[in-house]
Every structure is written in C-alpha cells, then in structure tokens.
C-alpha cells in the first residue's frame, strides 16, 4: 500500500512540477524582459525527497540562486514562482500580503501588468500600502479605529474604476482616505 501511495505522489508531483516549471519560465521572462528563469530539482533521481531550486538570470547578469538576488529581484522572482503555481493549479481567489513592498517603480509596473492578466481568471485580494497598486483596484477596503477602540471597515471604489471585474484590494484607511 505504501508503495502505491509513493508511486501516486511521484506521478502527481512530476506532473505539477512540469506544469509549474513551464509557467515559471514564461512568467519569469515576462517579468524580467531578456532574462531567463528555471526551476531545478535538487535530487531528480529521488522525487520523494527532492527539493526545488530557483535559478534566475535577469537580463545582462549571470545565473544566480534566489538567495543571491537583490531584494526587488528576489521579490519579483518569487512572484513569478507564485503566479506560475496559480496558473498551473488555478483557484477562484488568492490572498497576498504586501508582496510588492520591495519593488521599485519599474518592477511594480511589471507586477501590476501580471495582476491585470490574472484579474479575469480569479479574484485577487492584495494587502498593500502602495498607492499605484491601490489605483488599479476595483474596490479598496480599510480598517480604522473609532473612538472607544472599536474597529470600522470602510470601502471605496476608486475614480479610475473600469467597471466590474474580479480584482479587489485591501488597504489601510490612511491610504484609502488619501485617494
């Protein structure tokens, strides 16, 4: 019985890894134009105990492991991996917490383009303090403290809202009120 379970695990893992790996390569090159990314198994002969390494080669740089990238490159590479899982094994919604906090303006724009690609496929709930991220939202939610210590949830549809779709954002009240 254990042998058949192990065989099933290997089959499911192999299929998932192949799908995610293809999507990662494609998404990496989208987020890093001219770059190359790949997922590698640490022990391809032993799929029950193997690990996964992320190799990243941003345009004009040498191949590096994830740990050797800058903070922004590491964030964007991690997002490519995360979204490759989303694309390979879809879900109706995803929740992300400040995933774009370490991104500069150029990489933030690439992330937001990726978010826009996914907004037709699933609902995205993103906790963010980035004004540009909030500006792309269909709806903003914030939580504020009322006198006496109780919480109040506020919501707002940004003026640039392009009509109904599946993208929602959660933001802090300070940012919500500044829009």
User: Which structural domain, as residue segments, surrounds residue 179?
Assistant: 91-179
What's the whole-model pTM score? 0.81
Which pLDDT score, from 0 to 100, does residue 162 have? Answer: 52
**For residue 57, pLDDT beyond 70:** yes
Q: Are 60 and 122 contained in the same domain?
A: no
Average pLDDT over residues 138-164: 80
Q: Based on the structure, what is the number of domains in the chain?
A: 2
> Measured in whole angstroms, how far is the alpha carbon of residue 68 from the centre of its chain?
20
pLDDT, greater one: 108 or 119: 108
Looking at residue 149, what is its pLDDT? 85
The DSSP bridge pattern shows strands 123-128 and 167-171 to be parallel
Q: Of how many residues is the chain composed?
A: 179
What pLDDT score does 164 carry? 41
Cα–chain-centroid distance for residue 172?
A: 20
Q: For residue 159, what pLDDT is reported?
A: 72
End residue of a domain, out of 30, 61, 89: 89
pLDDT at 96 over 90: yes
Tokens of 77: 């590479």
Q: What is the pLDDT of residue 146?
A: 84
Same-domain pairing of 73 and 104: no
Cα atoms in the 13 Å half-sphere on the side-chain side of 147: 0
Choice between 160 and 75, residue whose per-residue pLDDT is larger: 75
pLDDT at 178 > cutoff 80: no
Of 89, 105, 131, the position where a domain reaches its end is 89
pLDDT score of 175: 45
Tell me if 130 sits within 8 A of 154, measured CB to CB. no
Average pLDDT, the chain: 87
Give the residue from 40, 60, 67, 59 showing the smallest Cα distance to 51. Answer: 40
CA 105/CA 162 separation, integer angstroms: 22
Torsion of CA 57, 59, 61, 64, to 10 degrees: -10
Question: Rounded mean pLDDT of 31-47?
Answer: 95
Q: Which residues pair with 121 in a beta bridge?
A: none
Least confident of 39-53, 111-125, 144-158: 144-158
Taking a C-beta distance cutoff of 8 angstroms, is the pair 98, 129 a contact? yes
Q: Which two tokens stand for residue 117?
A: 């690609």
């Amino acid at each position: 019985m254990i042998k058949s379970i192990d065989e099933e695990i290997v089959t499911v893992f192999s299929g998932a890894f192949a799908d995610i790996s293809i999507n990662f390569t494609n998404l990496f090159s989208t987020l890093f134009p001219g770059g190359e990314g790949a997922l590698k198994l640490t022990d391809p002969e032993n799929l029950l105990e193997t690990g996964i390494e992320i190799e990243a080669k941003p345009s004009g740089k040498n191949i590096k492991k994830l740990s050797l990238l800058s903070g922004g490159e590491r964030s964007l590479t991690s997002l490519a991996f995360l979204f490759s899982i989303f694309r390979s094994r879809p879900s109706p919604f995803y929740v992300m917490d400040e995933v774009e906090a370490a991104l500069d303006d150029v990489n933030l724009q690439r992330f937001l383009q990726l978010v826009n690609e996914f907004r037709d496929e699933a609902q995205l709930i993103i906790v963010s303090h980035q004004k540009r991220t909030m500006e792309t939202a269909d709806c903003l939610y914030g939580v504020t403290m009322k006198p006496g210590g109780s919480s109040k949830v506020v919501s707002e549809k940004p003026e640039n809202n392009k009509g109904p779709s599946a993208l929602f954002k959660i933001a802090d009240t300070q940012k919500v009120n500044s829009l």
